[in-house]
Chains A and B, each alone.
Chain A
Amino acid sequence: MKKFAISILVFWVLAVIVGKLFHLDPNQIDLNSILAPINTDYWLGTDDLGRDILARVLAGIQVSFFVAIIVTLITMVIGVLIGLFAGFYGGKVDAILMKITDIFLAFPGILLAIAFAAVLGAGLSNLILALCITGWVSYARLTRGQTLSLRNRQHVIAAESLGASVPRILIKHILPLLGSILMVEATYSLASVMIAEASLSFLGLGIQVPNASWGAMLRDGVRYMLVAPHYVLVVGLSLMSLILAVNLGGDCLRDKLDVRSEK
């Protein structure tokens, strides 16, 4: 499983590097070969404007990874901060912060992200903003739960009685113990942000034309499925392989770090 996950990831990294070396242009329009099937000129065929699907898939993965990493980092920082405060102080602070996360969790799945992306307007930065507004909640919950139990550990009480400041306790004595569980959570969140990004782009809320994104390509693929079924299959398989690899990577990491998670 581990080897499988790593080999998929290595494959994609190599593919992107090779694509860069050969200067594949994802936006090069070739109206003489629209929706061409897989052939020797275009290894994965062309889309509805005759653009090279291979080049666009490779451009799409970079967007996908970029969004996933940025969103995961931002949401993790926000969520961890909120979770640390809620778990450490407890009482009213905790009650209010957790009520807020409850409200965010009351919106199913990516519905709230869709809504925010819709009113903010399309575009890469708004897409990232919409995913950040809704993505911090799981980190806040996780960190709060862990902090709550770590708060009464002897080393924390010892630091407190020695007069350590709250930020120092949180950063030096509690945060390091959360490292592995947060890392596992972040891996899974990479995969779910990729799916969310693709979903929003699928609905036309993500990166705008002519730039490539897997969600938008899937939508076009569905539109031209009757004449060019390879389009939707290629893009879908690429996305699935990547998500599967990241999720399997998360499983391996979880086993290795011996984190007991609900997932």
Chain B
Amino acid sequence: MNYLKHMLSFTAVIFGVLLLTFLLIHAVPGDPVEVMLGESASMADRQALRADLGLNQPLIKQFGHYLTSLSQGDFGRSIHTKTPIVDLIKARYPATLKLAFLSLIIGLSIGIPLGIYAALNAGHWQDLIVTLVSVRLSAMPAFWLGPILMLVFALWLGWFPVSGMDSGTSIVLPALTLGFGLSAILTRMTRTSLLEVLNDDYIRTARAKGLSEPEVIVRHALRAALLPIITIVGLQMGSLLAGTVITETIFSWDGIGRLLVESIEKRDYPVTQACVLVVALSYVLVNLFTDILYRLADPRVRAS
């Protein structure tokens, strides 16, 4: 029953996301067709686009049409290149996934060990330095961290390409840009959550029965401390996905974020709409997955 309720709420959110993305094009002030085509467009072109987008139909009918075409995998066509949008997304989406995945790995492999280190040395200078650096880093948005990494590692040291995606190492700097921000938040979260657990009775018991310190930390403390971390990772995937828009623009990484920015510059709103929808749906799915993972990891939730 609980599960059913959960799925129902999930479906409602998906429906809301579809509705809001659909309404996006109607938020264009004035006539969307004129804004997209420019004032010099011919009457025939305008009529054609208006009919193509279905803008001359009632709103409800338009939304129904939007939903049915989406369910058939039809995102419409780009206004400028006339290519089906689904092809554009298919071409760009894997690059974004690759970038997001690598950033996640970087974030986890820096954040969790550092958080453990800080928690074990809580109150000492090591903890202070880690906390200070992670506060600094988490306040660094992609459009500031990205250029710094580019300046130091691409222009001055020449270790990685400045931008583009021609070489195998092109992904390193954009992934570090996104990964660092994530690692800073994970460090703080791991530290706090581990510190809370470390004072619990069962940890004292584990120590009292003579387990070695690494065993106490990894087998007993970390397992319990990981739960809030799973939630945070799920939530942070949101800013990671949104962050790809800026990061991909800085590093000319041809993912869906850059497609979004390009479509905005060309006023190709159907493409903008599709990009927003795809990124939002990815985020909703990631959160659903996080939720399932959380249930699997937490015996208390599993039992209820």
Contacts and interface: CB of A to CB of B under 8 A. Distances in A.
Interface string B109-132: 000000000000000000000000
A109 B241 contact: yes
B238 A205 contact: no
A188 B189 CA distance: 18
A252 B246 CA distance: 31
B147 A221 contact: yes
A119 B25 CA distance: 7
B263 to A, nearest CB: 8
B25 A243 contact: no
A74 to B, nearest CB: 17
By DSSP majority rule, is chain B's interface helix, strand, loop, or mixed? helix
B148 interface: yes
B265 A108 contact: no
Band of interface residues on A = 35 or more
Contacts of B147: 218, 221-222, 225, 232, 236
Given A203-B249, A226-B155, A109 B239 contact: yes
Interface residues of B, number: 51
Nearest to B140: A240
A199 B276 contact: no
By DSSP majority rule, is chain A's interface helix, strand, loop, or mixed? helix
B27 A111 contact: no
A30 B172 CA distance: 38
Interface string B136-151: 1001110110111011
A199 B239 CA distance: 13
Nearest to B287: A106
Interface in A224-249: 225-226, 229, 232-233, 236, 239-240, 243-244, 247
A116 B24 contact: yes
A116 B151 CA distance: 32
B148 A236 contact: yes
A50 interface: no
Interface in A91-114: 99-100, 102-104, 106-112, 114
B143 A202 contact: yes
Given A99-B16, A108-B283, A120-B28, A203 B155 contact: no
Interface of B: 9, 12-13, 16-17, 19-21, 24-25, 27-29, 35, 135-136, 139-141, 143-144, 146-148, 150-151, 155, 237-243, 245-246, 249-250, 260-261, 264-265, 269, 272-273, 276, 279-280, 283-284, 287
8 pairs of A and B residues whose beta carbons are closest in the complex: A109-B242, A103-B16, A108-B238, A118-B264, A108-B283, A236-B144, A109-B239, A108-B241
Interface of A: 99-100, 102-104, 106-112, 114-116, 118-121, 191, 195, 198-199, 202-205, 215, 218-219, 221-222, 225-226, 229, 232-233, 236, 239-240, 243-244, 247
